[in-house]
Amino acid sequence: MYVYILRRLAVAIPTILLLVIFSFALMYSAPGGPFNSERPLPAQVMANIEAKYGLDRPVMVQMADYVWGVVTRFDFGPSFQYTDRTVNDVIAQGFPVTLTYGFWSAVVAVIVGVSLGIAAALRHNSWLDYLAVGVTIGAQALPNFVMAPILVLLFTLWLGWLPGGGWAGGIVVNACDPRDSLCWSAFGGAIRLDYVIMPVIALSTSYMASIARITRSSMLEVMNSNFIRTARAKGLPMRRVIWRHALKPTLLPVISYLGPAFVGMITGSVVVDIAFSTGGIGQFFVNSAFNRDYSVIMGITILVGMLTIGFNLLVDILYAWIDPKIRY
């Protein structure tokens, strides 16, 4: 097991290097630089800027320097666009936001999805089953960029229950009074829950649906397997059969789905950030891509890559821990 983890980690290093080099090459070949504007800059001004950011050095030197900074100091360099911030600052700013609503979305998706899936499976071929299947396919198909404006129209404009966007100060500062019932504090910060609700709904729905579908078919399979039949034949109560015997094997495919779901949620944060102006990592990424803020783009790409590796590893370990058949 440990050997396996070590081997996986060893693979991670060339992966990240590859990612760095690939994104760097992509950036380098792009037409239009971060300092282009409608008004072409005088050559001398441009030269000063390039000297400041070291863009006048040979490309190989730039890349080596960048990689060295990332590897030794975990330093992604200065942002070209936000002059008073480094890429690390930008990430420290946007990432907790994405993590917060991402975490809640994952929780909601798993809890609701698994419950719905199990309920549908236990009432196989009943109206509940058909309803669940229909709803989950619908939820999977409805794009979240359509859902987001509908949510805002509904909850903000018509009902007036929730704020239409923003992050109320973000999690890095104490944005709310801890005695406030809507205030949730963790990680040394606080966030008002009413700002989290719509992003979580928009982000979690399609994953909730996928998880429900996976759980349903997995549960059906498990319930038909011999060991469950035996358990039921022994006359064990249904509740006990499900909790003690069926749940664990049912969840296996759900767990292996969590890896891709995680990546999907990070990608989905792009839509959430744009639709709700939450200021998460997705918004930074898209804006930096459009503005050619190379260092921020690379920082975020590399970070997401690393997290993907880490998360996939975590999922595999979890899987091995639940499924005794797996040996590494």
Bridge partners for 183 per DSSP:
192
Helix (H) or strand (E) holding 184: strand 183-186
CB of 119 to other proteins, least distance (A): 16
Q: For other proteins, which is the closer residue by CB, 201 or 297?
A: 297
Burial status of residue 17 (CB atoms within 10 A of its CB: 0-12, 13-18, 19 or more): middle
Q: For other proteins, which is the closer residue by CB, 240 or 281?
A: 281
Q: For other proteins, which is the closer residue by CB, 185 or 217?
A: 217
CB of 140 to other proteins, least distance (A): 7
Q: For other proteins, which is the closer residue by CB, 115 or 287?
A: 287
Q: For other proteins, which is the closer residue by CB, 156 or 235?
A: 156
Q: For other proteins, which is the closer residue by CB, 23 or 105?
A: 23
CB of 216 to other proteins, least distance (A): 9
CB of 146 to other proteins, least distance (A): 5
Cα–Cα nearest to 214, from 71, 114, 100: 114
86 Cβ contact list (under 8 Å, min separation 6)? 75, 76, 77, 78, 79
CB of 283 to other proteins, least distance (A): 5
Q: What CA–CA distance (Å, rounded) separates 278 from 165?
A: 7
DSSP string, 10-48: HHHHHHHHHHHHHHHHHHHT-SS-TT--SSPPPHHHHHH
Residues 118 and 218 sit within 8 Å (Cβ to Cβ): no
CB of 278 to other proteins, least distance (A): 7
Q: For other proteins, which is the closer residue by CB, 14 or 237?
A: 14
Number of residues assigned to the chain: 328
Q: How many CB atoms lie within 10 A of CB 294?
A: 27
Name the DSSP class of 78.
B
CB of 180 to other proteins, least distance (A): 19
